[in-house]
A and B are shown apart, each in its own frame.
Chain A
C-alpha cells in the first residue's frame, strides 16, 4: 500500500524482535541464577567421599552412593523395558496398523497417556507391580513404573522419527522384493534410529528426575546399601534430594545442592549423548 508507514512497520519489527530476545535471555538468566545458587551452595560438598559414602545423620559424613547407584540401576532397567516396547509399538502403529477405529482409538489414548500426571502412574505401579505382581519395594517395580510413565512419550517421538523416513525408501526396498520385515529392519529402522534414540534419551532424562511415582512405589528415603540386583530395595537421587532439602540444618541443604549437581551432571551427560548421536548419524547419512 502506501509507502509512508514503512518506518512504523520497521519500528514494530524492532520492538517484536527485542521482546523475543528479552524473553529468551530471561529464561537463560533464570537458569543461570538457579545454577549459580546451587553450585555456590553445593560446591564445597563435592568430593570423592560424597560419592562413596552412605547417607548419614552427620552431614560431614553423608554421601549419595546408594542413591546414585539406585538412579543408575533405575535408568538402565527402564531403558531395557521401555526401548523395545516403544519401538515395537511405534513400528506396529506406523508400518503395519491399518486405518481403522481400533487403531484410531489406540492413537488417541497414547496421546492422552502422555499427559497423565506422574503420581497417577505411581498409584498404578503401587497397585499393579508392588501389590498384584508382588514385586514389593524393588528396583524392578520402580523401573516398570517409570517405563509406563515415559512409554507414551517415547512411542510418540519414535513414531515421528519413523514417519519421517521417506516413502521412496520403503517403496524402493519393497519393489526389489524385500518383505516388509526386511524393509523395516534394513532401511526404516536405521534411518529412524537417531530420532528414536534422541526421544528415548530425552524421556529417560525426564524419568531420572521423577520423585512422586517413586515415593508411591516405595523407594527408600534412607538405605544403607547399594542395590545389587533388580529385586533389591533402592533409593534414588531425587528422593535423596527431597529428604535432605526438607531438613532444617543448613549443612543438609548444602548436601542437597551437591546432589542436585550430581543429578544435573547425569542429565547433561545423557543430553550430550543425544546430541552426539544426532550429529554422528547426520554426518554419516550425507
Chain B
C-alpha cells in the first residue's frame, strides 16, 4: 500500500542544490529478527548543516540514526541491508573498524548519561582511549570542548567534582562536550532535549546552532517546533518509510506529501 512512496524514494529525494553530501544511505533496510523496521531508505545528509528526523513514535527514525554509527550492532537480532556511505565509504563493509567509525560519528542520547566520574574525566576519557596521553593536551581538549558546549564558565572551578552533581541540562551539555572531545565530523542526537525543561532546551538548541558550523548534525526530535527552529533539512519518517525529505522551510510551509502535512499540522501522531 505504500509502494508509491518507495517509488518516490528511489527516484531520489535530495534537494539537488546541496553540494556537500556527508552521509548517503542507499536502499537501507533494517530488520529486528523477522520484523522489518526500515524500508529502502535513501537519504542524503549534508555536511555542516542540521538534518532533523521527525515522525511519530516507532516510525524508525531512531533506528535510522543508530545505523549511522552502527550502534544497532549491539542488538543481537538486528540485520542491516543496503548501504550507508560516509564520505563515499560504505561503513558496513568488513574493512571498516567500528571503533574508528564511532570516533568519527559522535552520539548524544535522549537520557543524559555522564560517567559516574569527575567532569574532567568525562571529557578526557574519549581522547585518552584514542591515544592522547599528554596532560596539557588533555587539559586543552577539556577546556575547548566545554567551551564549545557552553559549559566552561559554569564548571571551570569544579572540574574535579562529580559529573552527577550537575543539573539535567548541564549533564546533557556535558554529554555533548564529551562527544565533540574526540573531534568527530558527524554528531548524532537522539531527542537530546526531550527530558529537559524549556530553558535548558533553548540552551541546547542554541548550542546546536553553534555546532552546525563545524559538524554534520543529525537530530531526532518529537518536537516539530524544535525541528523547524534548529534544522536546515527535515526528513519525515512514517511506519519505517521515509515519506519526504526537503529543506526544512519547504517541509513546514509547503510539503509535497499529504501525510507529511497531516503530521506537521497535528492531524495524527
Could you tell me which A residues sit within 8 Å of B by CB distance?
Answer: 98-99, 166, 168-169, 171-179, 182, 186-187, 191, 285-286
Instruction: Evaluate contact between B102 and A168: CB separation under 8 angstroms.
Output: no
Instruction: Evaluate contact between B76 and A98: CB separation under 8 angstroms.
Output: yes
Complex partner residue of A177 from B76, B109, B162, B182, CB under 8 angstroms: B182
Q: Report B150-203 residues with CB < 8 Å from chain A CB.
A: 162, 164-165, 175, 178-179, 182
- CB contact under 8 A between A179 and B115, given known A99-B76, A172-B175, A174-B71: no
Residue of A nearest to B122 (CB): A172
CB contacts (< 8 Å) of A285 on chain B: these are 116, 164
CB contacts (< 8 Å) of A166 on chain B: these are 113
Instruction: Evaluate contact between A171 and B115: CB separation under 8 angstroms.
Output: no
Inter-chain CA distance A286–B125, complex, in Å, is 19
Complex partner residue of B102 from A98, A99, A174, A186, CB under 8 angstroms: A174
CB contacts (< 8 Å) of B130 on chain A: these are 177
Instruction: Evaluate contact between B115 and A178: CB separation under 8 angstroms.
Output: no
Instruction: Evaluate contact between A172 and B115: CB separation under 8 angstroms.
Output: yes
Complex partner residue of B115 from A174, A182, A187, CB under 8 angstroms: A187
Instruction: Evaluate contact between A286 and B109: CB separation under 8 angstroms.
Output: no
Instruction: Evaluate contact between A168 and B109: CB separation under 8 angstroms.
Output: yes
Chain B interface residue count, Cβ-Cβ cutoff 8 angstroms: 29
Instruction: Evaluate contact between B99 and A179: CB separation under 8 angstroms.
Output: yes
Instruction: Evaluate contact between B111 and A168: CB separation under 8 angstroms.
Output: yes
CB contacts (< 8 Å) of B182 on chain A: these are 176-177
Q: Is B42 an interface residue (CB 8 A)?
A: no
Q: Report B92-113 residues with CB < 8 Å from chain A CB.
A: 99-104, 106-107, 109, 111, 113
Inter-chain CA distance A178–B109, complex, in Å, is 16
Instruction: Evaluate contact between A172 and B109: CB separation under 8 angstroms.
Output: yes
Instruction: Evaluate contact between A177 and B126: CB separation under 8 angstroms.
Output: yes
Instruction: Evaluate contact between A178 and B111: CB separation under 8 angstroms.
Output: no
Residue among A171, A172, A285 with most chain B CB within 10 A: A172
Q: Is B1 an interface residue (CB 8 A)?
A: no
**How many Å from the CB of B103 to the closest CB on chain A?**
4
Inter-chain CA distance A168–B175, complex, in Å, is 12
Could you tell me which B residues sit within 8 Å of A by CB distance?
Answer: 69, 71, 74, 76, 99-104, 106-107, 109, 111, 113-116, 125-126, 129-130, 162, 164-165, 175, 178-179, 182
Instruction: Evaluate contact between A186 and B125: CB separation under 8 angstroms.
Output: yes
Instruction: Evaluate contact between B103 and A286: CB separation under 8 angstroms.
Output: no
Residue among B114, B116, B164, B178 with most chain A CB within 10 A: B116
Residues of B contacting A: mostly: helix
Q: List 26 A-B contacts (CB under 8 A).
A: A98-B76, A168-B111, A169-B115, A169-B116, A171-B71, A172-B114, A172-B175, A173-B115, A173-B125, A175-B71, A175-B102, A175-B107, A176-B106, A176-B182, A177-B99, A177-B102, A177-B129, A177-B130, A178-B125, A179-B129, A182-B129, A186-B125, A187-B115, A191-B116, A285-B116, A286-B162
Instruction: Evaluate contact between B74 and A174: CB separation under 8 angstroms.
Output: yes
Inter-chain CA distance A152–B102, complex, in Å, is 37
Inter-chain CA distance A186–B121, complex, in Å, is 11
**What 17 additional pairs, Cβ within 8 angstroms, besides A174-B71, A175-B107?**
A171-B113, A172-B113, A172-B175, A173-B125, A174-B102, A175-B106, A175-B109, A176-B125, A176-B126, A176-B129, A176-B178, A176-B179, A177-B101, A177-B103, A179-B99, A285-B164, A286-B162
Instruction: Evaluate contact between A168 and B113: CB separation under 8 angstroms.
Output: yes
Inter-chain CA distance A271–B40, complex, in Å, is 58
CB contacts (< 8 Å) of B99 on chain A: these are 177-179
Inter-chain CA distance A188–B37, complex, in Å, is 30
CB contacts (< 8 Å) of B178 on chain A: these are 172, 176
Instruction: Evaluate contact between B100 and A177: CB separation under 8 angstroms.
Output: yes
Inter-chain CA distance A270–B201, complex, in Å, is 49
CB contacts (< 8 Å) of A177 on chain B: these are 99-104, 126, 129-130, 182
**How many Å from the CB of A157 to the closest CB on chain B?**
21
Residue among A171, A173, A177, A187 with most chain B CB within 10 A: A177
CB contacts (< 8 Å) of B165 on chain A: these are 286
Inter-chain CA distance A286–B166, complex, in Å, is 11
Inter-chain CA distance A187–B117, complex, in Å, is 10
Instruction: Evaluate contact between A175 and B69: CB separation under 8 angstroms.
Output: yes
Residue of B nearest to A177 (CB): B103
